[in-house]
Structure 1
Amino acid sequence: MDSNEFRKQAHLMVDWMADYMENVEDYPVKSQVAPRDIYEQIHAAIPEQGEKMESIFSDFKKIILPGITHWQNPNFYAYFQANTSPPSILAEMLTATLGVQGMKWETSPAATELEEKMMEWLGDGIGIPEGWAGVIQDSASMATLSAILTAREKRSNYQVNDEGYGGYTNLRVYCSDQTHSSIEKGAKIAGVGKRNVIKIPTNDLLEMRTDLLLEQIEADIAEGFQPLCIVAALGTTGTMAMDPLEAIGKIANDHNIWLHVDAAYAGAAFLLPEYKILMSGIERADSFVFNPHKWLFTNFDCTAYFVKDKKGLLNTFSILPEYLKTASDGLVNNYCDWGIPLGRRFRSLKLWFVLRYYGMEGLQKLLRFHIELAVWMETEINKRPDFELVVPRSMNLICFRYVPKGVDKLEDLNTLNEQLMQKLNAMGKLYLTHTKIHGIYTLRMSIGQTNVAQSHIKNAWKSIKETAVDLTNNNKGE
């Protein structure tokens, strides 16, 4: 493809992209296809002859789009958002064009130095203590694995990396019973073992109980276990519960246990002064993670991972075969030594574009607006006797259920709310997901898509109410 043809095709696709962003609400939020629908429409093997871009792009629209769940639809309230924004998309286009492999400073100095500066910007913005260092990872799961591995190596004086586990087979990781599955996964990959991930019970607000954490640690020490790492969640996946960081940090410091703070979604909100109180105690932690690719309008993937001890991180991951040695080693950051992968994408460019385009004021305005929309939704739910919050609103996340008069059994209410969610999602007008809280089937509404407006929330609430009443009436008719 020569440059003239590339220019022609690129203009066509950018026009389509702009139209898509403008009209994304016209698509059903959740894909409506059945399993294997897409697979069966795709050629069985690589074509013998090359095809024209017009044909390929036509098939993209005809085959691929129906199988897309439109995460950028303002009516996407499921999971947590994976937001984009125009400046981030434009930066991704440049990133793809440059095709940088930023494993070392010398492979593209700008990729390394921009990343270093962006992590300083973010760290200062959310309240990371001075002296910490940051690196961009691909996901919070990878950051959590990095934290567990670094904790393991520091605990063993880097013996495990050199000689294998030896006498370090009785390590333990602690988290609440609400924390993300990535902690178990990380412990499995790190060789700690799923059985040695100890889940600490939570209180009525689903926050980790520090009295039970301390009891468990002391009991484990008495039985010969070695406490390795505590993971504190500032915003759990299910309900955005906030673990008491200050108290957990004191326990971690008193017992020389690595403290990793998982703020994957909620961390963006720490750009707001009114939420910085939740970071109280961060100086006691050893590592911290949040995802700009969730609620900070930056395309996936872009995870901000901060560590107190840069040397410990490098001692865990650095390796320098002859072919990677360069004259600048020791003078600059080589981010291939700051995590598991050798190859690295130029992720900092899109972060730079986003932070400069919106500025601190613009970012804070959007975050506050999303929280205000959630407050409005919370108020509306509280007005209705047939709906209730299962736990209090946390930032921009609403956890609620439908409780019509005459349906009293937990099992029946759970079934009814599951039917409600499935019916709403099948309509394509909005997309919700669920969690279970103390056995209660709970609908989750995460209000944080980049372009969500008051009108979207009002229409969503209208659909929820009407569908719930219709469902109850239909069940009575049966």
Structure 2
Amino acid sequence: MKHFAWKTFFLFCALQSFVFGGEAPTIRFFIEERSDGRLLHLVRELIPRKLLNETLANGRFEPCENVSKPTIVVTKEVVECSARFSAPRLQIAVSGPDRVRLRLAHDSEVTQYDASLGDVKLLQLIFADFRTSSGIHNRSRRSFFVSEHAKEDTRKVAQTEDNTYFALVIGVALVTLIGIVEVLAVVATCSSGRKLERKLADMKKERQDVAERTSRSSERLQRLRGGVSATHLPETENYVGNSYVLRKRQPMKFDQQIPVTPYEFKKAMDQLTKYIVDYLENTTKYPVTTDISPDSLWTKMDKTAPEQATRFEKVMGTVEKFYVPAMTHWQHPRFHAHFVAGCSFPDILAEMLASSLAVVGFTWDSCPALTELEILMVNWVGRALGLPDSFLYTGNNTRDSVGGGSIQPGSTDAVFTALMAARYRKIEQRVPNEKDTEGRRNVFKKLVAYASCEANSSIEKAARLGMVRLKLISCDDKFSLSVKALEEQIKADESEGLIPFFVQSTAGSISMAAFDNLGEIGVVAEKHDMWLHVNGTYGLAAMICPEFRSRAELIGLEKAHSIDMSAHKLFMHSSAHTFLWTRDKKVIQKAFAIDATYLKGAHEDTINLRDWGIPLSRRFLSLKTWFVFRLYGIKNIQAFVRRTIELAGAFRTQLEKDSRIQLIGEHVLGIVCFQLKGETHGKSNELTRDLAAFVNKSRQLAVSSAKVERTTHKDVEDSFNILKSLIDQFVRNL
């Protein structure tokens, strides 16, 4: 009995030590004169009131002073301290109306947060992170230092006692007392030692059950007396102020089973966001192109995936050390080698959200929001470009609409979809009977398609995959498809028994941004009953500006059967993202319709996006367009397009001043084409190819087209000066 009495005594002492705390690391607290009084309330709310009230003392403190104890500093504004702190330092200041900036520094690592004063959950997480990194558990004593001016205000704010805390202490004392009485009662009434042990075992199990239930409930409380990492709390949204967890916890260790917790994900996102902003705002610190040779990364990287999880910091270290130096930086203001690679913060936000939602759309039922938003974006963008209503969804029932469209993974997919629809249409016209496979095969073997020799290479790939002939037609002196040559080729093919079924008109060619004469090509297509597709992957985006819709080459757009336009060229979308419109959507849907049982949903009478091309599954791409249009608006997108064209004109003006350069073609959109003058045309081409290789090898510039969102007139002038200097070097070496 004496043994059990001593055990009870030690249990009471241990519990008392846990509740009232012992020696532990201290936190210094400093409030700068004239700092915002709301910050005092913030610290007062997130640090136990009783401790703050008891430990006020006079003292002076420099915001960047390096001390050996964890410190909280409330200042008028955030001070950027370059010193390495040997102990965690949390600096707090007001950054704007109802906004607070917190800067957590420890050693060489600095994490900065910008939050609303009303964002209680985030502030709790930050303070919990600070207390955990300070190594403070249980209720440790803290020493605080405030200026003389702030002392009186602090005393007034701290007058109210923490009733919850005292109630908790009293409750624990009562539970302990009841336990002692119960043990004494058991000792008095149990005559057998074995019976006593069974009774004590039952009591222990009951206490464990109560402790477990209390623990589960405690995880919903708001603050931890000992400063525990908030990553332990599964339901932070249910935190309640002035409630404390009695149970001691250790900081969360790196878990190999679940290595990325929600809190660690948020912390990693904060770091990644800072990295992205810094990269996009400071791309000039990198060479435009890389000097690595093929397979150089392959030889340095591990050939197998890691068995164990890796920390985010180490992963990003690999990215910075190996991958960024091996990149061609498309967002660099000296990058002029290809079409503009659109990139914008709204697009990045939408990309992150789409990946987080992780939905897959192939039927309406698989994700109604994905289907409905894509239909809406097809109309939004179509109307922004001024497309005829015949290419848009009309009526309340989109399934019954004659026209419509979808979002394709890229321009090649859009062209291939249009080509396959045209092939299906022509075979159906010639041999309506599906069972007449021989007749259909004979029609199929005779099909022939046409496009400009300056057309995007996507038409060649599409024709190869569709297994149809493709005839590339020569261009006129404006680098546009020669309508005369087209008619001659069609007549020649028909005389040989071939069947013309498809012709593509280019609106903004890859090399010259040239426009084919759509009106004249439309007349030819109508005459020979051919499907007319307008490949406007680059040029049609400019139609968002009304002044570009009046181009003579675009007159007759209503005669087309299908149109495509890539949003990742001029609409600031970072990844391949092409819109496809048609005024006869049933042809496309029938050409790609698949009726597998497992694909059918409860609403088969609606639009199913699986019937709009090769892919069955599709990502939530429409979110990207929705974000860009919502966060920028049509006016700002128009301004971006106009500025891109203006900067191209400025670059062209600079090139005209150099007598060694011959400009090619007209100023169209954001493309500027030129070549070095030579004694002959062949010599000029040779010199220009060599010059391009010389320029790109310099890593100072990448030629020959495109502008990016952050490009300015100064960037254009700098690019020209670099190009002029490189031409001088190139000519001297001839």
TM over 0.5: yes
**Structure 1 CA distance for aligned equivalents of residues 316 and 658 of structure 2:** 48
**Structure 2 CA distance for aligned equivalents of residues 409 and 251 of structure 1:** 37
**Structure 2 CA distance for aligned equivalents of residues 104 and 299 of structure 1:** 26
Q: How does 1:216-235 map to 2 (within 5 A)?
A: 216-235=489-508
Counterpart in the other structure of 1:187: 463
Task: Please report how far the alpha carbon of residue 241 of structure 1 lies from its aligned counterpart in structure 2 after TM superposition.
Answer: 1.0
**Structure 2 CA distance for aligned equivalents of residues 181 and 301 of structure 1:** 16
Q: Is 1:75 aligned with 2:75?
A: no
SS of 1:71 mapped into structure 2: coil
Q: How does 1:199-238 map to 2 (within 5 A)?
A: 199-238=472-511
**Structure 1 CA distance for aligned equivalents of residues 496 and 572 of structure 2:** 47
Which stretches of structure 1, 4 residues or more, deviate above 4 A after TM superposition?
158-165
Percent identity of equivalent pairs: 32
Q: Is 1:292 aligned with 2:567?
A: yes
Q: Which amino acid aligns with 1:69?
A: T
Counterpart in the other structure of 2:530: 257
Equivalent pair of 2:654/2:717 in contact (CA under 8 Å): no
Equivalent pair of 1:179/1:236 in contact (CA under 8 Å): yes
Task: Please report how far the alpha carbon of residue 23 of structure 1 lies from its aligned counterpart in structure 2 after TM superposition.
Answer: 1.0
Task: Please report how far the alpha carbon of residue 176 of structure 1 lies from its aligned counterpart in structure 2 after TM superposition.
Answer: 1.1
Counterpart in the other structure of 2:454: 178
Q: How does 1:376-391 map to 2 (within 5 A)?
A: 376-391=650-665
Distance 1:200 1:112, change over 3 A: same
Counterpart in the other structure of 1:424: 695
Counterpart in the other structure of 1:42: 301
Q: Which amino acid aligns with 2:625?
A: L
Q: 1:28 aligns with which of 287, 299, 302?
A: 287
SS of 2:532 mapped into structure 1: strand
**Structure 2 CA distance for aligned equivalents of residues 134 and 389 of structure 1:** 38
Q: Which amino acid aligns with 2:476?
A: N
TM-score (norm 2): 0.60
Deviations 1:256-282 (A, max 9, x none): 100011011112101111111243111
Task: Please report how far the alpha carbon of residue 135 of structure 1 lies from its aligned counterpart in structure 2 after TM superposition.
Answer: 0.4
Task: Name whichever of 67-76 and 144-153 sits farther off.
Answer: 67-76
Task: Please report how far the alpha carbon of residue 428 of structure 1 lies from its aligned counterpart in structure 2 after TM superposition.
Answer: 2.3
Q: 1:169 aligns with which of 445, 455, 462?
A: 445
Equivalent pair of 1:170/1:226 in contact (CA under 8 Å): yes
Q: Is 1:151 aligned with 2:422?
A: yes
Q: Which amino acid aligns with 1:346?
A: F
Task: Name whichever of 125-134 and 222-231 sits farther off.
Answer: 125-134
Q: How does 1:296-307 map to 2 (within 5 A)?
A: 296-307=571-582
Equivalent pair of 1:82/1:299 in contact (CA under 8 Å): yes
Task: Please report how far the alpha carbon of residue 110 of structure 1 lies from its aligned counterpart in structure 2 after TM superposition.
Answer: 1.3
**Structure 2 CA distance for aligned equivalents of residues 474 and 411 of structure 1:** 20
**Structure 2 CA distance for aligned equivalents of residues 217 and 417 of structure 1:** 36
Task: Please report how far the alpha carbon of residue 420 of structure 1 lies from its aligned counterpart in structure 2 after TM superposition.
Answer: 2.2
Q: Structure 2: which 5+ residue stretches go unaligned? A: 1-259, 392-403
Q: Which amino acid aligns with 1:43?
A: D
**Structure 1 CA distance for aligned equivalents of residues 322 and 656 of structure 2:** 43
Counterpart in the other structure of 1:315: 590
**Structure 2 CA distance for aligned equivalents of residues 389 and 191 of structure 1:** 39
Counterpart in the other structure of 1:363: 637
Equivalent pair of 2:507/2:536 in contact (CA under 8 Å): yes
Equivalent pair of 1:171/1:225 in contact (CA under 8 Å): yes
Q: 2:613 aligns with which of 339, 355, 358?
A: 339
**Structure 1 CA distance for aligned equivalents of residues 602 and 477 of structure 2:** 57
Counterpart in the other structure of 2:557: 282
**Structure 2 CA distance for aligned equivalents of residues 81 and 412 of structure 1:** 30
Counterpart in the other structure of 2:512: 239
Q: Is 1:325 aligned with 2:620?
A: no
Deviations 1:178-227 (A, max 9, x none): 111111111110121xxx21111111111111111111112211211000
Equivalent pair of 2:513/2:671 in contact (CA under 8 Å): yes
Q: 2:278 aligns with which of 19, 25, 38?
A: 19
SS of 1:390 mapped into structure 2: strand
Q: Which amino acid aligns with 2:463?
A: A
**Structure 1 CA distance for aligned equivalents of residues 643 and 311 of structure 2:** 45
Task: Please report how far the alpha carbon of residue 248 of structure 1 lies from its aligned counterpart in structure 2 after TM superposition.
Answer: 0.2
SS of 1:277 mapped into structure 2: coil
**Structure 1 CA distance for aligned equivalents of residues 312 and 640 of structure 2:** 38
Q: Which amino acid aligns with 1:55?
A: K
Q: Is 1:461 aligned with 2:734?
A: no
Equivalent pair of 1:299/1:350 in contact (CA under 8 Å): no
Task: Please report how far the alpha carbon of residue 322 of structure 1 lies from its aligned counterpart in structure 2 after TM superposition.
Answer: 1.1
SS of 2:665 mapped into structure 1: coil
Q: Which amino acid aligns with 2:564?
A: V
Counterpart in the other structure of 1:51: 310
**Structure 2 CA distance for aligned equivalents of residues 87 and 284 of structure 1:** 35
Task: Name whichever of 465-474 and 199-208 sits farther off.
Answer: 465-474
Task: Please report how far the alpha carbon of residue 323 of structure 1 lies from its aligned counterpart in structure 2 after TM superposition.
Answer: 1.1
Counterpart in the other structure of 2:73: none
Counterpart in the other structure of 1:437: none
Equivalent pair of 2:364/2:601 in contact (CA under 8 Å): no
Q: Which amino acid aligns with 1:349?
A: L
SS of 1:156 mapped into structure 2: helix
TM-score (norm 1): 0.92
Equivalent pair of 1:301/1:347 in contact (CA under 8 Å): no
Q: Structure 1: which 5+ residue stretches go unaligned? A: 433-443
Counterpart in the other structure of 1:436: none
**Structure 2 CA distance for aligned equivalents of residues 380 and 98 of structure 1:** 48
**Structure 2 CA distance for aligned equivalents of residues 363 and 127 of structure 1:** 15
Task: Name whichever of 454-463 and 5-14 sits farther off.
Answer: 5-14
SS of 2:441 mapped into structure 1: coil
Counterpart in the other structure of 2:105: none
Equivalent pair of 1:175/1:230 in contact (CA under 8 Å): yes
**Structure 2 CA distance for aligned equivalents of residues 47 and 383 of structure 1:** 57
Counterpart in the other structure of 1:111: 370
**Structure 1 CA distance for aligned equivalents of residues 333 and 360 of structure 2:** 34
Count of aligned pairs: 456
Q: Which amino acid aligns with 1:285?
A: A
Task: Please report how far the alpha carbon of residue 138 of structure 1 lies from its aligned counterpart in structure 2 after TM superposition.
Answer: 0.4
Q: Is 1:445 aligned with 2:705?
A: yes
Task: Please report how far the alpha carbon of residue 54 of structure 1 lies from its aligned counterpart in structure 2 after TM superposition.
Answer: 2.1
Task: Name whichever of 225-234 and 21-30 sits farther off.
Answer: 21-30
Task: Please report how far the alpha carbon of residue 411 of structure 1 lies from its aligned counterpart in structure 2 after TM superposition.
Answer: 4.1
Equivalent pair of 2:701/2:723 in contact (CA under 8 Å): no
SS of 1:136 mapped into structure 2: strand
Larger Cα-atom Rg? 2
Distance 1:430 1:353, change over 3 A: same
**Structure 2 CA distance for aligned equivalents of residues 200 and 401 of structure 1:** 24
Deviations 1:65-122 (A, max 9, x none): 1121111122221121121101101110111111111222222211111111111011
Q: Which amino acid aligns with 2:521?
A: I
Task: Please report how far the alpha carbon of residue 49 of structure 1 lies from its aligned counterpart in structure 2 after TM superposition.
Answer: 2.6
Deviations 1:129-182 (A, max 9, x none): 213212000001001000110001011118799858511211000011111111
Q: Which amino acid aligns with 2:449?
A: V
Equivalent pair of 2:473/2:485 in contact (CA under 8 Å): yes
**Structure 1 CA distance for aligned equivalents of residues 688 and 265 of structure 2:** 50
**Structure 1 CA distance for aligned equivalents of residues 371 and 345 of structure 2:** 24
**Structure 2 CA distance for aligned equivalents of residues 9 and 468 of structure 1:** 45
Q: 2:386 aligns with which of 88, 110, 127?
A: 127
Q: Is 1:348 aligned with 2:622?
A: yes
